[in-house]
Amino acid sequence: MNELLAAALAFRDAGYSVVPARADGSKAPAGSWERYQSELPAREQVALWLGEGSYDGFGLVCGAVSGGLEMLELEGRAITAGIHVAYCDALAAHGLSELWQRISGGYAETTPSGGLHILYRVDGTARGSTKLARNAAAQVLIETRGEGGFTVVAPSGGHTHGTGKPWQIVRGGPPSIETISEEERDALYAVASTFDRSPVRQVQLPRVTAGSQDGDRPGDDYNARMSWHDILAPHGWRPVRKLGDGAIGWCRPGKDGPFISATTRETAGLYVFSTSTPFDDQVPYSKFGAYAVLSHGGDYAAAAGQLRREGYGVPREHDDDGIGDLIASPASAGPGAGWEPPVPLGTQPPLPPFPVDAFPGWLADQVRETARFTQTRCLGGPRGPGHRSRRARRGGGPRVLARAGERVHRRGHAIGCP
């Protein structure tokens, strides 16, 4: 019996769902594996898969089918950055050093990329796969495999990983994988989440003062003035654990006991692990973002509008004159400078004379003569009082001529003709 098959059968005999891994470097399960998310493969099936050299590796299906199996992973970049040491120190600072010793001693392995896997079972409900911490570039540092997830285990290698390197056990084995409580698992998650440095979810809404950048947005003002307790407690969230560095573990509404569903930090926002809340899990929220979800169903615009009505985001005072000082009132503008009386609808006010003298001399003379000629012609003029225009001969009649004469008279007056 080869080493790979022997390890796979050891996992199968310990009650874990074993599935072969693809030999293409993808670390994904081979073939159709949905069946084995709910039932264990037969021992003979495992031997058939891995006893003939068709695969270079295998993995385990996490969750209820494998007795509540979860896998905690610190990525290679986290190991390089020393986060694994800081994580152990943080666990110890919260009285969880013994828990870490139990799970890391039960089963720990290194990955081909330099990461660390810790396998444990949960006496209760296994969570789904969760990304617990990312760096500022949104690269994952700490994550888990949970219900319905798949994780490759030692001594897989060869074509299972792109590097060709193997997974290697450093402590424990299948029979010694530790079982922990939901509360202990939640504590592991909560402390890991304090290493998250990804940007909080925040929607950029327009500032209160249009056209300027010196007025606080309602969300910005809310973030500065509110505490997490004031935001979460009214909606049934309970603080259950202080995690240091200002971090607090919270239990979601409807959940009894000291279980942690989310964590908060004043500088990093709300980070939710549970999928049984209105929040997107594994996404950091600002205080304003949390308020928008809890009080307005995630409608950021409605949340900002309500906060503005409550006095958040008030524009800052300016040292320069107000707009009232830029508009002269009639009383202060001197005598005769008030508004003219309103003109009733349907009336025509007198037209002011047109400033003909503003034109060059030759143009002013032309305008005067044109206006004079037009006025004289329409009113009878040199053609004599008995002359009828072409329009009148077509049936316009005296009334039409009178209206035309009135319009021409106004035109002549408007341009200042004698």
Return the sign of the alpha-carbon dihedral for residues 138, 143, 149, 151: positive
Average pLDDT of 32-38? 94
Average pLDDT of 239-268? 85
Q: How many residues does the chain have?
A: 418
Report if residue 346 sits inside a domain: no
39-43, 54-58, 369-373: least confidently modelled range: 369-373
If asked whether residues 19 and 102 sit together in one domain, one would say yes
If asked whether residues 137 and 10 sit together in one domain, one would say yes
Average pLDDT, the chain: 81
Q: Examine the pLDDT at 385 and tell me if it is beyond 80.
A: no
Report if residue 281 sits inside a domain: yes
Domain range for 61: 3-193
Rounded distance between C-alpha atoms, residue 132 and residue 64, angstroms: 21
If asked whether residues 87 and 163 sit together in one domain, one would say yes
Q: Please state, for a pLDDT cut of 70, what percent of the chain lies above it.
A: 78
- The SS3 assignment for 251 reads strand
- Distances in Å between the alpha carbon of 252 and those of 233, 262, 267, 283, 368? 10, 8, 21, 16, 88
Q: Examine the pLDDT at 62 and tell me if it is beyond 90.
A: yes
Tokens of 96: 């969880």
122-147 burial, b at 16+ Cβ within 10 Å, e below that, comes to bebebbbbbbbbbbeeeebbbbbbbb
pLDDT at 243: 82
Residue appearing with tokens 């009214």: 234
**pLDDT band at residue 372 under the 50/70/90 scheme:** confident
If asked whether residues 37 and 183 sit together in one domain, one would say yes
Most confident of 76-90, 239-253, 364-378: 76-90
If asked whether residues 148 and 242 sit together in one domain, one would say no
If asked whether residues 9 and 100 sit together in one domain, one would say yes
- Please give the backbone phi and psi of residue 313, each rounded to the nearest 5 degrees, phi first: 80, 30
226-235, 278-287, 318-327: least confidently modelled range: 318-327
pLDDT at 313: 86
Average pLDDT of 241-266? 86
**Enclosing H/E stretch for 6:** helix 3-13
Tokens of 187: 């504590």
DSSP per-residue codes, 72-101? EEE-HHHHHTTHHHHHHHHHHHTT-HHHHH
If asked whether residues 223 and 172 sit together in one domain, one would say no
Report if residue 77 sits inside a domain: yes
pLDDT at 375: 59
pLDDT at 380: 36
Rounded distance between C-alpha atoms, residue 115 and residue 167, angstroms: 10
Work out how many domains the chain is built from and give that number: 3
If asked whether residues 152 and 300 sit together in one domain, one would say no
Tokens of 342: 């309103």
- Please give the backbone phi and psi of residue 201, each rounded to the nearest 5 degrees, phi first: -75, 125
**pLDDT band at residue 391 under the 50/70/90 scheme:** very low
If asked whether residues 20 and 166 sit together in one domain, one would say yes
Rounded distance between C-alpha atoms, residue 366 and residue 361, angstroms: 9
**pLDDT band at residue 334 under the 50/70/90 scheme:** low
Report if residue 393 sits inside a domain: yes
Report if residue 294 sits inside a domain: yes
If asked whether residues 360 and 304 sit together in one domain, one would say no
Which of the two residues, 377 and 155, has the higher pLDDT score?
155
Rounded distance between C-alpha atoms, residue 203 and residue 288, angstroms: 9
**pLDDT band at residue 72 under the 50/70/90 scheme:** very high
Q: Examine the pLDDT at 101 and tell me if it is beyond 70.
A: yes
Residue type, 52: E
What residue spans of 319-381 are helical by DSSP H? 361-378
If asked whether residues 176 and 130 sit together in one domain, one would say yes
Average pLDDT of 100-122? 97
Rounded distance between C-alpha atoms, residue 130 and residue 142, angstroms: 9
pLDDT at 156: 97
Report if residue 184 sits inside a domain: yes
Report if residue 52 sits inside a domain: yes
Report if residue 324 sits inside a domain: no
Question: What radius of gyration do the chain's Cα atoms show?
Answer: 41
What are 146-202's pLDDT values in tens digits?
Answer: 999 999 999 999 999 999 999 999 999 999 999 999 999 999 999 998 898 887 765
pLDDT at 390: 43
pLDDT at 217: 83
If asked whether residues 89 and 178 sit together in one domain, one would say yes
pLDDT at 28: 95
Which of the two residues, 204 and 177, has the higher pLDDT score?
177
Q: Examine the pLDDT at 410 and tell me if it is beyond 50.
A: no
Average pLDDT of 89-112? 94
- What count of other Cβ atoms lies within 10 Å of the Cβ of residue 199? 12
Rounded distance between C-alpha atoms, residue 310 and residue 178, angstroms: 52
Rounded distance between C-alpha atoms, residue 297 and residue 235, angstroms: 13
Our CA angle for 189, 195, 200, nearest 5°, is 100
